[in-house]
Structure 1
Amino acid sequence: MQDTELTLGPCLFNWSEDAWRDFYFRIADESDFDLVYIGEAVCSKRLPFRNNALPDILERMQAAGKKVIFSTLALVTTKPERKTLKDQCEQDMWMVEANDLTALAFLKDKQFVIGPYINIYNEAAVQSLVSRGAVRFVMPTEVPATTIAQIIKAAPHPKYEVQIFGRLPLALSARCYHARLHHLSKDSCRFVCDQDPDGRDVKSLTGQPFLAINGIQTMSYGSQLLLEELPDLAKAGVNAFRLSPHTGDMIAVAEQFRAFMKGNIDAGEARSKISELMPGHEFVNGFSHGAPGMHQIDEALALS
C-alpha cells in the first residue's frame, strides 16, 4: 500500500475563519498528505469567510509543496451559486473537484475530479465522465467495496479514491436543519451551525443516535474507519484513501494511517491509537461491506 495516496478531503463543517485558516496552515507545515482538497462543499453562505482565508492558505500550501485540488459546492440552486461555481471552474491554477454535475458546463476541455456527491454506481457512468475530462473519482460513501472493485476492473484507467475516516456525507437539502432547530430561517440563520464543529447528533424516537446534521447536510452519526479493508481495496485498484477533517489532531490520525499503510504497525494498533486520538467518535464500516452504514463489520471483504 506504500504507493497508495493518503488524501485530506475538504472540511465540511462551519469552523470559524481563524480556525479554518490555522487548520490548513498546520496541514501545510506539518502533515505529509499526498493531496489536500480545499473549498466549501456544503453551504454557499459560508463562502465569504472561506474566500477571505483562501489566498493565504493556498500560498502556504504552495510554499510547502502540497498538491491541492479545489472542492466545489455539492448543491447549486441559485444564480449566485451558479456564478460562483463558474468562476471556480474556469480558474486555471487548481484542478477542481466537481460535486454537482452543474460544474460540467464550465469544465469543458479541462481535467477534473468527480467528488463523492455525484452518484457513480457503474462503469458506464465512469466512462461517460472520463470522456468529459474526469481523471479521478471519489466514490460515493454508500458504494460497497465489491462494487468499487467491479467498476475498477471494467474501467481501470482513471484514479479512484475512497473515504476511510470521518463522518460520511449522506444527503443535502435546500432547507437548513441547523437554522430550523434554532427557530430561524435559512436566510437569517446566524451561522448557528458553527456551534457544532463536528456536526450535531440526531437521535431516533427511541433515543438511538443514528445521524448527524451539518447545516443543510445530513451525515452519518458514526465515523467511517477503514483499516483492515485497506489492503484489499488497494489490491482491487483503489489509488487513494481519504480522511475527512474533524476537530482533534488530524495530523496524528493521518500518521497512524500512514504507519499502517507502510506496514510499520498492524490494523489493531492503528485502530487503538486512532480511538485514543478521537474519543468522541463511534466507528463504523458497514457500507464498505454492503451492510447498513451504521454497522461495524468484522468480517473480511473478500473482493476476489
Structure 2
Amino acid sequence: MKMKRAALSLGPVYYLWDGPKWRDFYFRIADEAAVEYVTLGETVCSKRQHFSEPHVAEVIERLEAAGKEVTLSTLAMVTLERESRQVRDLIRDSVHAVEANDLSALGLLKGQPHSIGPLVNVYNAATARTLAARGANTICLPPELPATSVHRMLEAMPGFSFELFAFGRMPLAISARCAHARSKGLTKDNCQFICGGDPDGLPLRTLDRQSFLVLNGVQTMSSSCAVLLDDLAPLVDAGLSRIRLSPQDCDMVRVAALYRTVLDGRMDGEEALVELAKAYPGVRFSNGFLHQQEGAAWVSRGRSAGLGHG
C-alpha cells in the first residue's frame, strides 16, 4: 500500500573527500539520484573547505539544472574568528537557503527563511515552535529521537516541514580537539588532513575488539549506520514531509532508489533491507533510537533481524 508522499533529501558530506571525488559524487547525484533536496557545505571542520570550495559553483549549477533544490550548511561548531566570519559571509551573501547546524548562526538568520540541521538539538514542540517563529521553515530532527517524540511534534505542528535523519552513521558529538589526528600521533593544527585517508570514518574498537564508534576529524559518529527504511510509513502518514539520507562512502544513488521505492510502495521494506545491505556491505544497521532502545540496536519487523550484524 502506498504511503503519503514524502520527499527525499541528501544531507552534507560529513567526511573529508578530495575535491574531484566530492564533485563527481554530486554530479552523479544530480544526474541519477531520486532526491529532491540537497544540502551542501563543510559542516564538520573549516580546515577542509578548500578541498570542495573550487567545485561548489559547478556542483550547484549541475544540481539545480537537474531540478534539485540546494541549501548551504553552516559549520557545526564555530570556535575561531575566521570561522565566525565565514558563517556571517555565507548568511549575508548566499542566494540559496541556509541550514543552521550550530546555534551561533541563529541570531544572524533571525527573520529570514532558513532550515535547521540535525546537529541542533530539537527535542520537543516548544523548541520547534520557537525556531519556526524566528524564521525556520524546515527542521531536520536529530537521529536520537524516539518515534513517540517525533509523533508529538508532528501532531503539535501540523503542516510544518519536519525532516528525519533516516540513513547514515549518526553524528553523536563534535569537539574543539581532533581525536582523529591524535590517534595518528598528530595535532589538530598540524593534522596533515589525515582524516582524508578514512573516507567513511576511522573505526574504533573496544579492548575486546568490538566495534564501538567512528572518528571523523573533530566529529564522533556511530559505528552502526542508522537505517529507518522499514520504519517510515507511520511517520509519513502522521505528516513527516522529508526523509534525510546522510552521504556515506557507498552507492548513494542505489540507497536513494531503495528509499524512494519503499516510500512509493513499490517494494516491501524487508526486501529493500536485503538490497541495502548489498549497497553498503560490511556495516551494521541500527534503528534503536527510534524504538526507545540503545542507538546501536536493531529492532526487526521480520527476517532481517541479522542484517549488518555479521
Q: Normalization by structure 1: what TM-score?
A: 0.96
SS at match of 1:232: helix
On the 8 A contact 1:90/1:107 being kept in 2, the answer is: no
Q: Which runs of 5+ in 2 are unaligned?
A: 303-310
Residue 64 of structure 1: aligned partner: 66
1:198-277 correspondence runs (5 A): 198-277=200-279
Deviation by residue 1:132-179 (Cα, 9 ceiling, x = unmatched): 101111001111111111122112242111111110000000010111
Q: Normalization by structure 2: what TM-score?
A: 0.94
- Equivalent residue letter for 2:17: W
On the 8 A contact 1:108/1:132 being kept in 2, the answer is: yes
Residue 189 of structure 1: aligned partner: 191
On the 8 A contact 1:134/1:158 being kept in 2, the answer is: no
On the 8 A contact 2:10/2:245 being kept in 1, the answer is: yes
Residue 25 of structure 2: aligned partner: 23
Number of positions where the alignment pairs a residue of Structure 1 with one of Structure 2: 300
SS at match of 1:257: helix
On the 8 A contact 1:35/1:68 being kept in 2, the answer is: yes
- Equivalent residue letter for 1:190: Q
SS at match of 1:210: strand
On the 8 A contact 2:111/2:135 being kept in 1, the answer is: yes
Does structure 1 residue 4 correspond to structure 2 residue 6?
Answer: yes
Deviation by residue 1:25-44 (Cα, 9 ceiling, x = unmatched): 11111112111111111000
Once residues 283 and 70 of structure 2 are traced to their aligned partners in structure 1, the CA distance between those partners, rounded to angstroms, is: 27
Deviation by residue 1:77-101 (Cα, 9 ceiling, x = unmatched): 1111010011111224111110001
Residue 41 of structure 1: aligned partner: 43
Deviation by residue 1:166-225 (Cα, 9 ceiling, x = unmatched): 100000000101110111110110000011101111112322112111000000000011
Give the superposition deviation at 1:71.
1.1
Residue 155 of structure 1: aligned partner: 157
With 197-206 and 130-139 compared, the bigger mean Cα shift is at: 197-206
Give the superposition deviation at 1:2.
5.0
1:110-125 correspondence runs (5 A): 110-125=112-127
On the 8 A contact 2:178/2:218 being kept in 1, the answer is: yes
SS at match of 1:234: helix
- CA-based RMSD of the aligned residues comes to 1.3
Does structure 1 residue 136 correspond to structure 2 residue 143?
Answer: no
Once residues 280 and 298 of structure 1 are traced to their aligned partners in structure 2, the CA distance between those partners, rounded to angstroms, is: 18
Once residues 300 and 274 of structure 2 are traced to their aligned partners in structure 1, the CA distance between those partners, rounded to angstroms, is: 15
With 198-207 and 131-140 compared, the bigger mean Cα shift is at: 198-207
Moved over 2 A (4+): 155-158
**Between the two proteins, what is the percent identity of the paired residues?**
43
SS at match of 1:62: helix
